C-alpha cells in the first residue's frame, strides 16, 4: 500500500478557487474572527501531517490486530492510544467545537476536509473523534448550561470521548420500538436500564471517560417515537469539582466481530440502573439526537469519499509501477519486458472513474458543508433559511451517494491491483471491507433514498427540489460561452431530473409503493446531476487559471471524462425508476 498523502492542493482549489470561501467567511462576523484563507491553509497542512505520518501507518496493522474485549474494558490495537493522544493534544477533536468550551470554532467547510484526511488515514481511528464531535453537537445544542460546562471542555479536549446509543436488538431503523427505560430520581437524575447494540466506541482504552448519549423512555412516555427522551450517561461519574468518581452502572457485554473497521470497538452496551441526566425536555430525544445525526450523515458520506481517495492513491501508484503486456499502440517502454498497466484503456477508465468521483465528491461534500455554515453563521435570515432547506434536501444525497460511489471507487482500485487486490498485504481489500459499513450505518442508503424521494421531494411538493434546480439554472445562465461544453450537458441533465421529479410527484398521488420503488434510482440521478454541477463549477475555475499548470489541465480533462462517461448513467437510471413498482409486487411473499 502506498503512503497516504492528503490531497491538500485539491482541497484548497475547491475551497478557495471554486467556492471562494474567504468571501463567505468575511460576510459572517463570527467566522471572520477565527478563520481566513491563510489560517485555513495552515490548519489543513497540519492535519495532513498528523494523518499521513501518525494515523495512516496504523491502518493495516490495526486491521490485523483488531480490538480485544475483557470484562473491564476493550483494548484498541497497538499504537491507537498514543496516536489518539497526539491527535487530541493537537486540538483536532474539537476542530469544529464551540470556542466557549474549548473548541477551535472552525467552520464545517474546514472540519469536513479534516474529517476526510482522518478517515482516509484510518476509518476505524476516525470513528472515535467523529462520534465525540457529534455528541458534542447535541449536548451544545440541547443540554443545560450545567451539563455543557461539566462535559464539553473535556470532550473537545479529547480527554473524554462520546458515543450515541440508539439501536437495540429489535429496534434499528424503527427507533419508536426501543425498550430502554429511564426512571426519574429525587435529585433530578435518572436511572437507565436496558441494552444497546452496535455502539461505536461504547468502550475503549483510549480515554479516561466515555460520555454516552442514550435514547430511552420515561415511565409515562407515549408510545412510538414521540415518547423517546435523550440522556447523558457517563461511563465514570463526575464529581462536583470536575474530578472523576465512581464507575457508573453500565458495562460492555461484548464486541462485534465485523467484516471491516476492525480497529473500531463496536459494542453491546448494558445499562443496569446507570445514572444519567436528561438532555433537552422529556420526549424530545429524537429531535436532540438528529442534531447530531444530520452532521454525522454528511460525515459518513465523507468516510466513503475518504476510502475512495485512499483507494485511488494506492491504485495510481500501482498502475504506474506494475508492468504487464504492451500498450495497444505499441511498446511504450522498449527497454523493459512490458509496459506499466496505466497504458491500458480499461485501467485508465477505472482510474479516471475513481478520480472523477472522488474530486466531484469532495466538491459536493464541501458544498453541503458550506450550506451548514451559512445556516449556522449567516446574519441574513433569507440566506439562513435557504441554506437550511438545501441542507435538508442534500443530506440524504451526501450520505448515500458519496458512500455508494465510495464502494465503487474501492472496487475499481481493487480491480486495478488484479489478484494482488484480493490479498491482505496490499491493503486494497481492507478498503473494500471498511467502506461497506458506510452504506449501512447512520440509516441505510435505502432509507436515505426514501427520505429524499418521500419526505424531501414528495413531502415538499417538489419545492425543495426546485430550490436546488433553480440554483443550477442560474449558474448555467450566467456562465461564459467558453464553459458551454459543460453547461449544456448540465442543463440537459437537469431536464432529465426535472422530468423524473414530476413523474415521481404524479405517481406518488396514486400508488404509495411508487416512491419506495423509484427512490434509489432517483437519488442516483440526483447525485450524478449534483456532481455535474460541481464539475461545471470546477471546470469554470480551471478555465480562468494558469493553463500551463498541469493541475488545471488535469482538472479539465477529468471534467470532460465525467460528462462523457459518467453523467450518461442518468438515462438508464431514470428509465429504471420509471418502470414503476408493479414488477416488484408481481410475486407473493411465499413465491420468492
3-state secondary structure 303-366: HHHHHHHHHHHHHHHHHHHCECCCCCCCCCCCCCCCCEHHHCHHHHHHHHHHHHHHHHHHHHHH
Enzyme catalytic residues: 442
392 in any annotated domain: no
What pLDDT sits at residue 114? 98
What pLDDT sits at residue 191? 98
Reported pTM: 0.97
What pLDDT sits at residue 2? 64
What pLDDT sits at residue 73? 95
What pLDDT sits at residue 433? 98
Find the distance separating the first CA and the last CA of the chain, reported in whole Å: 43
Q: Is-contact 350 416, C-beta < 8 A?
A: yes
pLDDT averaged per 10 residues, the chain (length 592): 90 98 95 95 98 98 98 96 97 96 97 98 98 95 97 98 94 85 98 97 98 97 93 98 97 98 98 97 87 84 98 98 95 93 98 98 98 96 97 98 98 98 96 98 96 98 98 98 98 98 97 97 99 98 96 98 98 98 95 96
471 in any annotated domain: yes
537 in any annotated domain: yes
Domain count, the chain: 1
Q: Is-contact 225 235, C-beta < 8 A?
A: no
Domain containing residue 471:
452-585
What pLDDT sits at residue 446? 98
535 in any annotated domain: yes
289 in any annotated domain: no
> What is the spatial distance between Cα 569 and Cα 549, in angstroms, rounded to a whole number?
31
Cα angle value 421/398/427 (rounded, 5°): 15
154 in any annotated domain: no
State the alpha helices, DSSP H only, in 482-564: 484-508, 513-543, 550-561
515 in any annotated domain: yes
Cell numbers of 222, please? 407515549
466 in any annotated domain: yes
What pLDDT sits at residue 290? 77
Amino acid at each position: 500500500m502506498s503512503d497516504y498523502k492528503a490531497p491538500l492542493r485539491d482541497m484548497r482549489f475547491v475551497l478557495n478557487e471554486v467556492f471562494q470561501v474567504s468571501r463567505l467567511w468575511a460576510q459572517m462576523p463570527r467566522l471572520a474572527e477565527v478563520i481566513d484563507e491563510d489560517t485555513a491553509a495552515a490548519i489543513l497542512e497540519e492535519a495532513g501531517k498528523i494523518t499521513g505520518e501518525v494515523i495512516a501507518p496504523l491502518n493495516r496493522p490495526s486491521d490485523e490486530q483488531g480490538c480485544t474485549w475483557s470484562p473491564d474494558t476493550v483494548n484498541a490495537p497497538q499504537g491507537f492510544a498514543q496516536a489518539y493522544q497526539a491527535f487530541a493534544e493537537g486540538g483536532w477533536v474539537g476542530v469544529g467545537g464551540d470556542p466557549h468550551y474549548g473548541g477551535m470554532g472552525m467552520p464545517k467547510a474546514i472540519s469536513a476536509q479534516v474529517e476526510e484526511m482522518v478517515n482516509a488515514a484510518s476509518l476505524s481511528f476516525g470513528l472515535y473523534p467523529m462520534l465525540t464531535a457529534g455528541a458534542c453537537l447535541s449536548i451544545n445544542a440541547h443540554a443545560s448550561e450545567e451539563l455543557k460546562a461539566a462535559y464539553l471542555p473535556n470532550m473537545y479536549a479529547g480527554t473524554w470521548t462520546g458515543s450515541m446509543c440508539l439501536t437495540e436488538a429489535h429496534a434499528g431503523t424503527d427507533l419508536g420500538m426501543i425498550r430502554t427505560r429511564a426512571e426519574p430520581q429525587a435529585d433530578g437524575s435518572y436511572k437507565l436500564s436496558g441494552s444497546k447494540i452496535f455502539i461505536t466506541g461504547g468502550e475503549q482504552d483510549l480515554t479516561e471517560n466515555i460520555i454516552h448519549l442514550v435514547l430511552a423512555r420515561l415511565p409515562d412516555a407515549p408510545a412510538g417515537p414521540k415518547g423517546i427522551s435523550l440522556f447523558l450517561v457517563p461511563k465514570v461519574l463526575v464529581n462536583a469539582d470536575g474530578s472523576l468518581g465512581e464507575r457508573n452502572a453500565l458495562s460492555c457485554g461484548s464486541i462485534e466481530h465485523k467484516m471491516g473497521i476492525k480497529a473500531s470497538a463496536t459494542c453491546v452496551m448494558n445499562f443496569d440502573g446507570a445514572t444519567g441526566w436528561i438532555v433537552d425536555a422529556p420526549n424530545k430525544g429524537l429531535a436532540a439526537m438528529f442534531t447530531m445525526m444530520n452532521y454525522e450523515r454528511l460525515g459518513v458520506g465523507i468516510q466513503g469519499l475518504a476510502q475512495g481517495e485512499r483507494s485511488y492513491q494506492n491504485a495510481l501508484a500501482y498502475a504506474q509501477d506494475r508492468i504487464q503486456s504492451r500498450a495497444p499502440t505499441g511498446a511504450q517502454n522498449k527497454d523493459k519486458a512490458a509496459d506499466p498497466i496505466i497504458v491500458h484503456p480499461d485501467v485508465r477508465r477505472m482510474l479516471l472513474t475513481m478520480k472523477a468521483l472522488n474530486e466531484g465528491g469532495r466538491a459536493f461534500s464541501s458544498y453541503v458543508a458550506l450550506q451548514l455554515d451559512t445556516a449556522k453563521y449567516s446574519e441574513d435570515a433569507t440566506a439562513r433559511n435557504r441554506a437550511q432547506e438545501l441542507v435538508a434536501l442534500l443530506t440524504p444525497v451526501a450520505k448515500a451517494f458519496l458512500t455508494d460511489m465510495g464502494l465503487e471507487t474501492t472496487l475499481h482500485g481493487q480491480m486495478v491491483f488484479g489478484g494482488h487486490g484480493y490479498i491482505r498485504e496490499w491493503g486494497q481489500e481492507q478498503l473494500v471491507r471498511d467502506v461497506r459499513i458506510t452504506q449501512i450505518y447512520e440509516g441505510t442508503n435505502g432509507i436515505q433514498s426514501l427520505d429524499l424521494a418521500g419526505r424531501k421531494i414528495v413531502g415538499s411538493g417538489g419545492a425543495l427540489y426546485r430550490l436546488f434546480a433553480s440554483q443550477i439554472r442560474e449558474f448555467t445562465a450566467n456562465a461564459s460561452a467558453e464553459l458551454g461544453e459543460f453547461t449544456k450537458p448540465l442543463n440537459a441533465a437537469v431536464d432529465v431530473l426535472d422530468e423524473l421529479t414530476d413523474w415521481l410527484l404524479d405517481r406518488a398521488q396514486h400508488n404509495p409503493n411508487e416512491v419506495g420503488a423509484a427512490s434509489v434510482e432517483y437519488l442516483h440521478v440526483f447525485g450524478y446531476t449534483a456532481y455535474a454541477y460541481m464539475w461545471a463549477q470546477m471546470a469554470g475555475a480551471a478555465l480562468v487559471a494558469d493553463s500551463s499548470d498541469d493541475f488545471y489541465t488535469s482538472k479539465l480533462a477529468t471534467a470532460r471524462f465525467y460528462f462523457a462517461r459518467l453523467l450518461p448513467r442518468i438515462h438508464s437510471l431514470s428509465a429504471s425508476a420509471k418502470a414503476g413498482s408493479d414488477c416488484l409486487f408481481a410475486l407473493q411473499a411465499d413465491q420468492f
